[in-house]
Structure 1
Amino acid sequence: DVPDSLPALDSQSVNERQRQSTSKRDAGKHRPSSSSSSGQPPSQTEDISELEPQKNSDFPIFSHTAGSGGNECLVAAGFTEIPSEFGENHNKQVSLRRQKMVTKTKAMRTLVMTSMPSEKQNTVVQVVKALGGFSIVDRVCESTTHVVSGGHRRTLNILLGIARGCWILSFEWILWCLEQSHWIPEEPYELSEQFPAAQICRLQRHLSAGEHQQDLFQNLPAMFVSQHSQPPSQTLVELIELCGGQTCKTVRRAGICIGRHSGRRPEGCRMLSEQWILDCITHLKIQSYDTYYMA
């Protein structure tokens, strides 16, 4: 049978339990916490970087910090920490690519004057300054697109312009641009009669998808250019290489010697005058050796 009433509790045991309960509550009130020790009220939300990753989460939890450039990640879902060197190298590569793009964007086409007296040069400078779009340089280089000539003389800049596929134009082009107050089409002013190769090389450069490269000297043996040559050997070497030829620094490896050379030459090495190189480029055709041999 179930008794009608529970047995009475001993008053001494009840008092003992109350004292224990009171001591536990007091201990809880005086327990230090991270928020109270700093003088801040207890926060209701946690910083996201302090959250523990959930064990059943399907996605990694990343911690973004300013010091690491956003490349630090927590070890979660099989991901390990990415070294800071990776981020630095990546940032350097991106910076270099941007720098190259900016440099390429800022690169301006250049114009060269040749066979031109001071008065005509001043006119060219004023027109370029007024219309823009060009930077004037003294010598034909990779960025040169136009060579303006005050006459019909074959100069080194004319030959370099032909080899690089530049426009070879008369001074009249500048005058008509000044008259029209804008850059006008170049074709009517191209010196194609005086320099037949100019138009051909210019069209080849225009049609080429990549860098323009002539192949005039491509199938010839290596050439040695004498240090005493005129024009200077460095310019002749540049012309030969722009037209697909090979040059060497010692005559022992050469099949053709350009300019006078007093030392010994390998058997079968032809010694030709500098004029042979200039005429080949002018006509864009390999000229016969017969009239260019040097004793």
Structure 2
Amino acid sequence: MEPLLGNAGLVYCKSDAMNFSEAGYINMGRGIDRDIETMAAVVIKLGGFELEAKVSSRTTHVVSDGPKRTLNMLRGIARGCWILTQEWIFRSLERGRWLEEEEFEIDHFSSAVKHCRLEKQCFGPAFKQVLFRRCGPIFVAHNTSPPTTDLQDLVKLCGGRVAKSTRGAAIVVGVPVRNEQVACVSENWVLDSIMWNRLKPTKDYILERRLSSY
């Protein structure tokens, strides 16, 4: 599946206003601007949340207009956030209060959605992804899609080490290199591994080797 990447509106949950033990964000998905504005108005009306633009360590909720693989969706999965449909916001408006999240969780999108969220709830602040920890140094090429810095951030978020060059790297993402001892994979290796919370075999993402400046 080709990744649908990009950032969208987010909501920051203020712990002092809602008696939450930690802060959180809600991804508004890739809907049209009017949808974002409408949901933002609901958030203001119900209170307890602030709009943000990117999932961070304070994030607890990511709201999407559907099962689309965006950067914020992947960040949310990696951080163990709630991944919810937009219906959660609109149904909460109808009831005049924030509803329990389980009914609106997009767990059919990927088993990792619920698995990572439960781990985060279990371990709390100690929760940390270790998906890429044993992969060795990972080099991300320039001009990748999604952008290099976003891929590097995802790798580090999931416990990986980012190499500054191909020299000494165990895995190279986004460009083939001449060194046959190095696994050269497409960007989807990183994205798919995070999406399913399972390290995908590099052999399924190998790039054809050719002369390279790396």
**SS of structure 2 residue aligned to 1:168:** strand
Counterpart for residue 128 of structure 1: 43
**2:209 aligned with 1:281:** no
Q: Which residue of 1 aligns with 2:76?
A: 161
Per-residue CA deviation, residues 174-196 of structure 1 (Å, 9 max, x unaligned), is 11101101000000100000122
Please state if 1:114 is matched with 2:37. Answer: no
Q: What amino acid maps onto 1:125 in structure 2?
A: A
* Residue type at the aligned position of 1:236: L
For each residue in 1:55-105, what CA deviation from the matched residue of structure 2 results, as whole angstroms up to 9, or x when unmatched?
A: xxxxxxxxxxxxxxxxxxxxxxxxxxxxxxxxxxxxxxxxxxxxxxxxx97
1:225 maps to 2:140: yes
Which structure has more relative contact order (CA 8 Å, sep 6+)? It is 2
Aligned length: 190
Q: What's the RMSD between the two structures over aligned residues?
A: 1.9
AA aligned opposite 1:126: A
Q: Larger % of helix: which?
A: 1
Distance in 2 between residues matched to 1:284 and 1:127, nearest whole Å? 32
The Cα of 1:108 is off from its aligned counterpart by 5.0
Flag structure 2 segments of 5+ consecutive residues without an equivalent: 1-14, 209-214
2:120 paired residue among 170, 185, 205: 205
Report matched runs for 1:260-279 at 5 Å: 260-261=175-176, 266-279=179-192
**C-alpha distance in 1 between matches for 2:104 and 2:16:** 29
Deviation at 1:255, TM superposition (A): 0.5
User: What TM-score do you get using the length of structure 2 for normalisation?
Assistant: 0.83
Q: Which consecutive segments of 4 or more residues in structure 1 shift more than 6 A? A: 104-107
What is the CA distance between 1:208 and its match in structure 2? 1.0
Deviation at 1:123, TM superposition (A): 2.0
Counterpart of 1:157, as a letter, is N
The more displaced of 121-130 and 178-187 is 121-130
Residue 43 of structure 1: aligned partner: none
